[in-house]
Amino acid sequence: MRNLLLLFLASVLVLGCNIVNPKEQIPTYLKIDSVAFTDGSHDITSAWVYYNNAPVGVFRLPATIPVLADKAGTITVGPGITYDGFQDQQSLYPFYVFDTFAITPDPGHVISHTPVSKYTAVTNFPWKENFESGADFQAYDTSVSNNAISLITDPGMVYEGYGAGYIHVVSGDSVSESVSSRSIDIPQGQSFLEFDYKSTNSFIIGLAAYYGSGTPVLNYQIGLRTRNNWTKCYLGLEPVVSQYPGAVFYVIVKSTLDSGSHDGYVLLDNMKIVSY
């Protein structure tokens, strides 16, 4: 009888331990190194991952992502970008399509996948400048400087295609301020200015708002430092556009020779405004 009682107590203790420490579910690991984008240059830096429409998390790429999946289901990956060039600010990009694929759980093992994305079907491009046949810019104030973005076709300076936009500042001509040659209608709501750049001198970029008379209102939104390699930037325009309902806009770019430098340049390519 005593032995049976001890056996019963031992069973209760084991059961109690299992209740307190339930068996942990082993995840299936999803490995995403990068996202393939089919509509030109991009800088997709993060993956917004969902399993059966439930959020798994946001992950900087490349990433190995634990997914607690107990049955076959669907993984959805939303492409994320670095907002306004701030590395610690990841944003789900509304103009890139999500990638969706089926997954069969394989606990403890790694499944590799390369998501594919492109612009959504409802994306509009109110303005583009690829510098293939010229530079759609002019000097903002010729009384200050005639130095404006020009076309350069030197293969060593061009990112892709025929040409790139070129700003050159030197000690005797140290300021360049350019404005796009034609006005741009940007609708209210989400919109971005995308561009690739490489530079040995810092520069600032943004929008000028204009109501058809008077002086345009200049809104320089971000300043960018030198970059030895071509870099993609996504500049959010909604904060500026929302302040000026009914206005038309111009892209503005300014570079002033950095202190201590005698010569510097900025290269630009694949400039476009995206909106709905």
Query: What separation in angstroms does the CA of 41 have from each of 34, 61, 64, 208, 233?
Result: 13, 17, 24, 25, 10
Q: What is the mean pLDDT of residues 186-213?
A: 97
Which residues, at least 6 apart from 24, have a Cβ–Cβ distance to it below 8 Å? Answer: none
pLDDT tens for 58-109 read: 999 999 999 999 999 999 999 999 998 777 789 999 999 999 999 999 999 9
Give yes or no for residue 9 having a pLDDT over 50: no
Indicate the pLDDT class of residue 13, thresholds 50, 70 and 90: very low
Whole-angstrom distance, CA of residue 48 vs CA of residue 76 = 8
CATH number, span 26-117: 2.60.40
Give yes or no for residue 135 having a pLDDT over 50: yes
Topology of the domain comprising 124-275 = Jelly Rolls (2.60.120)
Whole-angstrom distance, CA of residue 33 vs CA of residue 162 = 30
Give yes or no for residue 143 having a pLDDT over 50: yes
Q: What is the mean pLDDT of residues 157-163?
A: 96
- Asked if residue 247 lies in contact with residue 232, where contact means CB atoms within 8 angstroms, the answer is no
Whole-angstrom distance, CA of residue 200 vs CA of residue 162 = 21
- Asked if residue 166 lies in contact with residue 157, where contact means CB atoms within 8 angstroms, the answer is yes
Give yes or no for residue 11 having a pLDDT over 90: no
Indicate the pLDDT class of residue 22, thresholds 50, 70 and 90: low
**Domain coordinates of the chain in residue numbers?**
26-117, 124-275
